[in-house]
Structure 1
Amino acid sequence: MTASTLLERFLFPHQAVSAQALRRAVAGRTVLITGASFGIGEQLARQIGSAGGRLLLVARTASRLEALAEEITAAGGTASVYPCDLNDLAAVAALAERLPAFQPDIVISNAGKSIRRPMMDSLDRFHDITRTNNINFLSPARLILAALPGMVERGGQIVSVSAANVLLPPAPYWAAYQASKTGFDQWLRSAAPELRARGVAVTSIYLPLVRTRMIAPTRFYDGVPAMQPDQAAMRIAASLITRRRAWAPWWLSPVHVLAPALRTPWDAWTDRQQRRALR
């Protein structure tokens, strides 16, 4: 076993989820998952499908969704596909209009767009900001608003698949991504007390780095410890059982508590690194 594997086991310990408990939580309930065609969403759809949840699968790639739905159906589950590009606000609006008729009980906002790009390389790329905000904030908010009335009636749940860095000091090159993820996190957390008072559970999942196709273009991550997609899906599935308000890696809480005290040295270090890069 390599040192990297041991470190990953330490940082991301395995958590088993009771199949019976998951079945009690989702059987007969309609579960919408965005970003369902690959990675975490794909793994999560299989878990919920096998537990008896009625799946509404949303993503851009229709062929992947159809293949996944066929697999789930062949195994005895129920899945419907709704291809939609969350960067296309008109397409999202059309899906939102149809959503009340589908009666989702649980909405899992899993789709995401990551961009790592220096600011000076972004001067003619304002679409980096609009794209990340459309996918990470505006479109999920639109779908949740459309689903909310029925979720209030049925005691539903909203699950936001967020990122650990939302709770950490911002880092260079990630301005568009971190702003969009933080924006949605703040929007949902601000609404959460209102929704909980009406019987809708709100859960924020602050995932660490996950070894998915989204991080593949960033070569820096090749040697960085990361959670596997099935592990991340298991954490999300567990939140459907507990309906807890938040989950984060065990090591994030102390780092988050220390973050205000570390801001000045962190800013000084990142400033030095950027000046060094310009030499």
Structure 2
Amino acid sequence: MGDPSGAEGAIMSRYSLLEHLLFPRTQYNSRRLEYRLEGKTVLITGASSGIGEQLAYLLADSHVHLILVARREDRLLEIKAEIEKKSAQVSVFPVDLREETELESLLAFLHQLPDGLDVIVSNAGHSIKRSILESLDRYHDFTRTMAINYSAPLQLLLSTIPLLEKSQGQIINVSTVNVMLPPLAYWAAYQASKAAFDTWFRSVAPELNMIGILTTSIYLPLVRTPMILPTTAYQKLPAMTPQHVARIIGNALYTHKRSYKPWWIIFGQLGSILFRWYWEYAIPRRLRRKGSRM
């Protein structure tokens, strides 16, 4: 039996015709998900908005212990109050994952959980768009972006792998299709940090699988979350809803798929090979023309 709530139809109704084509319906079975999560403990980072928030709401009907992590305590408490009207138990842990002492306090909390830890959804992230010439005196842009997109999830997993091995758990990494395509100008800090963690995660996945830890990489296109609001150009581009992405993650929780990729990503990868010359020669000329008009 699939999801009886009709929520999928409501999600898809928000899409344009092009978005329907690019982001088709996701198979989702609420009963299988609830069975899989019965009595489990699930950690979600970046849980105060966007994908993390919607995933928490999706899991609210399950008998699960949700640990919601984000910087904004007020939002986490609002989400907790809403979810606990249903079946899930919720713990909130306000923390800035970029701060070493705060991250260490989260790790100490996780190691003291009486029922252990079963699932980590690594969703927290930071995006930034800025040209390299505007970044010459902004080294902190790179260190902050690397901290949240690479160093923090790396430290989180290094500490919790023994917990996940004990529970034979699962790690879900929320990534981006950008790591599978040629890098774009102006996005160096973001793309470098996301690619670094994706490479690390794929590299250790066989070792984790060997000891019984499931691994899943979710490669997403543009998603309508607060993170994209500063980029005006994105407002008119096709984008997934965070509710749809939550269902993709929910599906991965009970199917144990190794990865999710948009169906069209293969064409993007093929195009990046066939038209590599365009990226290497035409784009710099285009950027020069754009700069000369400013």
TM-score, normalized by the shorter chain, greater than 0.5: yes
SS in 1 for 2:225: coil
The question of 1:85 aligning with 2:96 is answered: yes
2:139 is aligned, of 106, 122, 126, to 126
SS in 2 for 1:193: helix
Alpha carbons 1:99, 1:143 under 8 Å: kept = no
Superposition map of 1:79-118 within 5 A: 79-102=90-113, 103-118=116-131
The question of 1:17 aligning with 2:24 is answered: no
1:204 and 1:211 map into 2 onto residues whose CA distance is: 19
The question of 1:141 aligning with 2:154 is answered: yes
Query: How far apart are 1:243 and its partner, in Å?
Result: 1.0
SS in 2 for 1:162: strand
1:155 maps to amino acid: Q
2:121 and 2:85 map into 1 onto residues whose CA distance is: 23
2:143 and 2:242 map into 1 onto residues whose CA distance is: 27
Alpha carbons 2:64, 2:87 under 8 Å: kept = no
1:47 is aligned, of 58, 72, 80, to 58
2:73 maps to amino acid: A
2:203 and 2:52 map into 1 onto residues whose CA distance is: 25
Query: How far apart are 1:98 and its partner, in Å?
Result: 2.5
Q: Which residue of the partner structure matches residue 230 of structure 1?
A: 243
Q: Which residue of the partner structure matches residue 70 of structure 1?
A: 81
Deviations 1:221-278 (A, max 9, x none): 0110000110011111111111111101110123224433332222222112111122
Query: How far apart are 1:94 and its partner, in Å?
Result: 2.2
Alpha carbons 1:27, 1:54 under 8 Å: kept = no
The question of 1:8 aligning with 2:19 is answered: yes
SS in 2 for 1:214: helix
The question of 1:165 aligning with 2:178 is answered: yes
Query: How far apart are 1:101 and its partner, in Å?
Result: 1.9
2:51 maps to amino acid: I
TM-score by length of 1: 0.96
Alpha carbons 1:93, 1:142 under 8 Å: kept = no
SS in 2 for 1:120: coil
1:24 and 1:261 map into 2 onto residues whose CA distance is: 46
Superposition map of 1:202-241 within 5 A: 202-241=215-254
* Amino-acid identity (%): 44
Alpha carbons 1:37, 1:68 under 8 Å: kept = yes
Alpha carbons 1:204, 1:247 under 8 Å: kept = yes
TM-score by length of 2: 0.91
Q: Which residue of the partner structure matches residue 186 of structure 1?
A: 199
1:184 and 1:238 map into 2 onto residues whose CA distance is: 23
1:27 and 1:66 map into 2 onto residues whose CA distance is: 23
Aligned residues: 278
Query: How far apart are 1:184 and its partner, in Å?
Result: 0.5
Query: Which sits farther off after the overlay, 263-272 or 84-93?
Result: 263-272
Query: Which sits farther off after the overlay, 117-126 or 107-116?
Result: 117-126
1:160 and 1:43 map into 2 onto residues whose CA distance is: 16
Alpha carbons 2:125, 2:148 under 8 Å: kept = yes
Alpha carbons 1:32, 1:55 under 8 Å: kept = yes
Query: How far apart are 1:89 and its partner, in Å?
Result: 2.3
SS in 1 for 2:239: coil
Query: How far apart are 1:47 and its partner, in Å?
Result: 1.0
In structure 1, list runs of 5 or more residues that go unmatched.
none
1:8 maps to amino acid: E
Which stretches of structure 1, 4 residues or longer, exceed 6 Å deviation after superposition? Answer: none
Alpha carbons 2:48, 2:70 under 8 Å: kept = yes
Query: Which sits farther off after the overlay, 107-116 or 263-272?
Result: 263-272
1:56 maps to amino acid: I
The question of 1:33 aligning with 2:48 is answered: no
Alpha carbons 1:60, 1:84 under 8 Å: kept = yes
2:234 and 2:93 map into 1 onto residues whose CA distance is: 32
Q: What is the CA RMSD across the aligned residues, in angstroms? A: 1.6
